[in-house]
Structures are given as C-alpha cells and as structure tokens.
Amino acid sequence: MNPMQTIYNHAKTVSIFQQLCSRFNSVQGFLSQLEGFALYLLATMGPGQGEVVEIGSYKGLSTCWIAEGLKASNREQVTAVDHFEGSDEHSDEEKKDLLEIFLANISEQGLNDYVIPTKMSSENAVQKWHENGAKPIRLLFIDGDHSYEGVKKDFNLWSELLIESGIVCFHDYQSKGYPGVTRFVDELLVHSSRYGDVMNANALKVIQIINGNHHVD
C-alpha cells in the first residue's frame, strides 16, 4: 500500500474514534473509550458470518459502540441481553428505569435497527435462542454477573454457539474488585486448547477460537 494512503487510513481511524467518543459521551456506563472502540472495530471487521450477542447492557454504552460498528459495516444486529434490574454494585438510584433509559439511549443514537433488546436472564435468553434455531454467533461480549461462577456460567451457556473463528470479549479483566473475571479467563486460556489470546484493550480481554474441538488440557 502507498505510504501516504496508510497515513490517511490511520488518520481517518483516529477521526472516527474522536467522533464516536463525542457522540457517546452522553451515554452513562462503565466502558472506557478505548474498550468501546475495540468493540466497534470487532463488530465492524471481525471475522466470519454470524450473530452478535451482548450479555449485560446496563444503559447501553457498550451496545451503542457495537451497534454503530454493525451499522457502519451494514452487518448484523446485536442482541442485548440484560434483566435490566441492575447489579449489587449499583445504587438504588442507578437501578431505576434501566430499560427505559437503555431504549432512549439507543433511539437517540439512531441505532434502533441494529439492536434487539432482550429483557431476560442469560439462561432464559439462550434457551429462547435454541428454540429459535440456535443461530451461530461470531462475536460474544460478556459483561453480566462478574463473579467467577457468573462469568463461567455465561461463557458455558453461549460459547457452544460460536463459529469456528468466533471471538469472545470479557469486560473488567484484571480490574480491581472483579477477580472472578480474571480468574476464569486465565484458567480458560491455560486449560483449553480451543481458545487463543488476542489482545487486551484496557480492561477488555479478547480471545478467539483457534481450534475447533472442545478438548481441555
């Protein structure tokens, strides 16, 4: 590629990042801008054909980053799974009207056509997913129950639906206060030959299927 074209492409990427940071600044959440942009790029350019699923949406910040990537690339919708009742770390005020706030944020960003809100538990959502044909998933973002048992449960419920090159993202990896996320991901990468480590973007850990079988070492 022409060096000047490469420079232009990098500059364009930075410009997109700045524009999206400004756009989503009004959406409350716990996702850094770098983490959001990583999800945007994975949604836009991630490998394979399949669905995109998010476990844990809160007020829609991560959902917006993902959905904007899907809109930019004219790809799939993101199924946003959340009971919208808040978590233990949220105050009572933060837990109020979560679904309404989520829907308003998605609408204000013009992303309704790229988001499927799914108000139910992860277990019920995956059961419904199987009942509706068990469509394969190319990108899975896990940001629900941050306990070791919760992360493990969400991963086990959904990972069997991943395509051969499927990507899984875990939020709050190596974050203070959420040791369960780090413990589960580290154990998975050590004991399973199926997944490879792709990258860290702040507290976002990205892994990918590199071996089609489910053998655990």
What pLDDT is attached to residue 216?
Answer: 40
pTM here is 0.93
CA-wise closest residue to 184 among 159, 210, 161, 215 = 159
DSSP type of residue 159 = G
pLDDT digits (tens, 9 = 90+) for 81-125: 999 997 655 555 565 689 999 999 999 999 999 999 999 999 999
pLDDT digits (tens, 9 = 90+) for 35-79: 999 999 999 999 999 999 999 999 999 999 999 999 999 999 999
Residue with tokens 């770390």: 89
| 3-209: in CATH 3.20.20.140 | no
Backbone φ/ψ region at 95: left (φ over 0), alpha (ψ -120 to 50), beta = alpha
| Across 203-208, average pLDDT | 98
Percent helix, strand, coil in the chain, to 5, is 50, 20, 30
CA distance 25 to 98: 18
Percent over 70 (pLDDT), the chain: 93
| Across 202-207, average pLDDT | 98
Edge-to-edge strand ranges of the sheet holding 51-55? 115-119, 78-82, 51-55, 137-142, 162-171, 204-209, 195-201
